[in-house]
Amino acid sequence: MQEQVGALLTAILERNELRADDLISVWFTATPDLHSDFPAAAARALGITDVPLICAQELDITGAMERVVRVLAHVETDLSRAGIAHVYLGAAGALRKDIAQ
């Protein structure tokens, strides 16, 4: 989990030209089949240590994609809403083809 969530966070920051100092808070959700670690532990391993982080579990819906971690980051930026790069890695790109980059 740490490697994949770390890659996701890194991609979010890089594609939006953000630094850890731009983060206000971050919510992580994980599907019920992921229970080996807290997704937020990956953020801490990247050095994001002074930002509030919270983890929650996704609803257990029949037929939902498994092994998915979602990130909702509250950031301070001058980017417009249209300028934000929404990052979906791997198979998760199929979840939101309309905004996946």
Q: What are phi and psi of 97, to 5 degrees?
A: -60, -25
Is the model's pTM score more than 0.85?
yes
Mean pLDDT, the chain, integer: 93
pLDDT tens digit sequence for 83-101: 999 999 988 877 776 665 5
**Residues 83, 58: Cα–Cα separation, whole Å:** 27
Residue boundaries of the structural domains of the chain: 1-94
Q: What are phi and psi of 38, to 5 degrees?
A: -85, 130
How big is the chain by its Cα radius of gyration, in Å? 13
Q: What is the mean pLDDT of residues 9-27?
A: 97
The confidence score (pLDDT) of residue 91 equals 83
Half-sphere exposure of 75 (CA within 13 A, CB side): 21
> In terms of CATH, what superfamily is 1-94?
RutC-like (3.30.1330.40)
Quick one: which of 91, 1, 90, 87 has its CA closest to 44?
1
Q: What is the mean pLDDT of residues 17-22?
A: 96
